[in-house]
């Protein structure tokens, strides 16, 4: 660092600009966090926890009812970082007004550590997401080097946070911005590790999506392209911020110009993760034919042991989760005991109604059979003629049916007009 005092524009001017950019990005992150917990309350803790860690929630009381139940926490990462940044600004611009303060405050070191922890949390979230994305080879074309790629990303993230912690400790010991030039090596390692980690994550996601986007379905391929564009934008933005921090710190070590990219860096990580999570609704609308939620109603189902009720489930779709369909256990839920009793009562009522319909059917069938019997020609034939027909059909030892010539003499005359009388009485 040179002996001359840096200009006001190169120090506090750059500080104020970085504070403005950081506050703006923090406000966007607060809005995205609120939208996330409103849109996706059913997400698992593996997704909620990074959001709760990166985006601190006011602890007394929590701002949102959902946080009161699940995500209420003390000051973490982003809110901690910007709070300490404002504290340092207050000391320099109010308590020491008119004096260019080159001493490092304790809040400077803590806000720097919170910055690195936020970036590390987001990087590890994407690492775990890549692992979940590639752990089901039965459904996807998984590259053989997937395990190696995950290890590389995890190692780079560990290098970034380790160098960041070392830089925080070293800066706290130096106690002066004038001596930050002595941390060039560790600062370069931290920014280079963060830059490389972001690039590897972006390339890995793009290669994976490109290898699996040829499905023959236009909507699915369009969704894949959208996810690839989002992955590139997310990774390149944070990588550019890390690279710019390294360049400005090495080129102008005696100024605060590197704050222009260092201070907003963690807010870019936060917004990139939240944007990836919140865009699932948009991607889902792209692949559904009706533009609505991708839900299926199967009504009420009854098995031999219990009754289940199908409910709406919003399928989680993101750059790292859209390829994993919900399990059968996530597609329906077992109703309560009260609902089971109500379902059983409805089934009993349906069985009683069915039995009544069956009884009415049998009664109607009996009535129809009786009516057909009444309109039969045989019912209109006199009883004497029926007896003569019966006697004429009695079997003999010679013929199966008695011949009229063999009949008794007293009834032979009556058999001649028998057929005519039957026809006459039958109304034929």
User: Which tokens belong to 378?
Assistant: 């045989």
Q: Are 187 and 249 in contact (CB under 8 A)?
A: yes
pLDDT band at 144 (very low <50, low <70, confident <90, very high): low
Among 38-42, 171-175, 190-194, 404-408, the least confident range: 404-408
Q: In terms of domains, do 328 and 346 share one?
A: no
Q: Is residue 2 assigned to a domain?
A: no
**Residue 147 CB-half CA count within 13 A:** 3
What's the confidence (pLDDT) of residue 88?
79
Domain match, 316 and 266 both: no
Domain extent for 326? 300-336
**What mean pLDDT comes out for the span 276-294?**
64
With respect to residue 255, please indicate whether it lies within any of the assigned structural domains. yes
> What are the tens digits of pLDDT across the range 358-388?
888 888 877 777 666 655 555 556 666 666 6
Q: What is the pLDDT of residue 71?
A: 33
Residue 1 within a domain: no
Looking up residue 148, the CATH number of its domain turns out to be 1.20.1070
In terms of domains, do 280 and 309 share one? no
Whether the predicted pLDDT of 288 surpasses 50: yes
Residue 8's SS3 state is coil
327 plus 381 within the same structural domain: no
* Residue 199 reports pLDDT greater than 80: yes
Across the chain, mean pLDDT equals 70
In-domain check, residue 292: no
Tell whether 310 and 375 lie within a shared domain: no
Strands of 300-302's sheet in order across = 300-302, 307-310, 332-333
Q: How many domains does the chain have?
A: 3
Contact at 8 Å (CB) between 271 and 202?
no
Measured CA distances, 300 to 163, 303, 336 (Å):
57, 10, 14
Residue 32 has pLDDT above 60, yes or no: yes
378 and 262 together in one domain: no
Q: How many helices (H) and strands (E) does the chain have?
A: 16, 3
Calculate what percentage of the chain has a pLDDT beyond 70.
61
- Note whether residue 3 is domain-resident: no
Same domain? For 361 and 308 the reply is no
Res 153: pLDDT = 87
Residue pLDDT, tens place only, 309-341: 444 444 444 444 444 444 555 445 566 777 788
Q: For residues 40 and 112, state if they share a domain.
A: yes
| Residue carrying the six token digits 């059909």 | 393
What does DSSP say about strands 300-302 and 307-310: parallel, antiparallel, or unpaired? antiparallel
**Residues 328 and 375 both lie in one domain:** no
pLDDT reading at 116 higher than 60: yes
Query: Within this chain, do residues 378 and 326 fall inside the same structural domain, yes or no?
Result: no
User: With 70 as the cut, is the pLDDT of residue 85 above it?
Assistant: yes
Burial class of 409 by CB neighbour count within 10 A (0 to 12, 13 to 18, 19+): exposed
pLDDT in tens, 6-24: 677 777 788 888 888 888 8
- Size of the chain in residues: 428
The mean pLDDT value for 243-251 works out to 88
Pairing of β 332-333 and β 300-302:
unpaired
Distance CA 102, CA 232 (A): 38
Compute φ and ψ for 304, nearest 5 degrees: -75, -25
Residues 391 and 324 in one domain: no
Angle at 32 between CA 12 and CA 205, to 5 degrees: 95
DSSP character at residue 304: S
Residues 88 and 231 in one domain: yes
């Amino acid at each position: 660092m040179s002996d001359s005092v840096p200009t006001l524009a190169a120090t506090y001017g750059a500080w104020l600009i970085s504070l403005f950019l950081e506050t703006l990005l923090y406000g966007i992150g607060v809005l995205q966090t609120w939208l996330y917990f409103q849109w996706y309350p059913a997400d698992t803790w593996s997704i909620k926890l990074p959001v709760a860690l990166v985006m601190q929630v006011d602890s007394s009381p929590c701002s949102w009812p959902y946080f009161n139940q699940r995500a209420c926490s003390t000051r973490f990462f982003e809110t901690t970082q910007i709070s300490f940044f404002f504290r340092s600004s207050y000391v320099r611009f109010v308590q020491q007004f008119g004096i260019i303060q080159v001493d490092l405050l304790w809040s400077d070191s803590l806000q720097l550590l919170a910055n690195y922890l936020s970036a590390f949390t987001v990087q590890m979230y994407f690492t775990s997401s890549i692992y979940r994305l590639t752990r089901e080879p039965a459904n996807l074309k998984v590259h053989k080097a997937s395990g190696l790629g995950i290890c590389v990303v995890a190692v780079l993230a560990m290098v970034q946070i380790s160098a960041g912690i070392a830089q925080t400790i070293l800066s706290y010991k130096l106690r002066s911005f004038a001596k930050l030039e002595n941390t060039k090596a560790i600062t370069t390692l931290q920014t280079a590790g963060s830059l490389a980690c972001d690039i590897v994550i972006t390339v890995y996601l793009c290669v994976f999506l490109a290898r699996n986007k040829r499905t023959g379905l236009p909507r699915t391929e369009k969704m894949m392209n959208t996810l690839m564009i989002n992955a590139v934008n997310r990774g390149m933005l944070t990588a550019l911020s890390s690279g710019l921090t390294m360049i400005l710190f090495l080129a102008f070590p005696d100024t605060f110009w590197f704050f222009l990219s260092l201070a907003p860096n963690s807010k870019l990580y936060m917004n990139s993760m939240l944007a990836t999570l919140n865009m699932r609704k948009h991607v889902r609308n792209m692949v559904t034919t009706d533009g609505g939620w991708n839900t299926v109603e199967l009504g009420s189902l009854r098995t031999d042991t219990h009754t289940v009720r199908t409910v709406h489930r919003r399928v989680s779709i993101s750059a790292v989760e859209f390829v994993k369909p919900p399990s059968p256990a996530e597609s329906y839920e077992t109703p309560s005991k009260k609902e089971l009793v109500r379902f059983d009562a409805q089934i009993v009522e349906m069985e009683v109604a069915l039995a009544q319909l069956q009884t009415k059917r049998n009664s109607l069938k009996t009535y129809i059979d009786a009516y057909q019997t009444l309109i039969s020609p045989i019912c209109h034939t006199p009883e004497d003629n029926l007896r003569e027909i019966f006697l004429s059909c009695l079997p003999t030892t010679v013929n199966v049916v008695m011949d009229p010539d063999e009949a008794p003499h007293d009834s032979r005359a009556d058999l001649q007009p028998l057929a005519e009388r039957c026809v006459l009485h039958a109304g034929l």
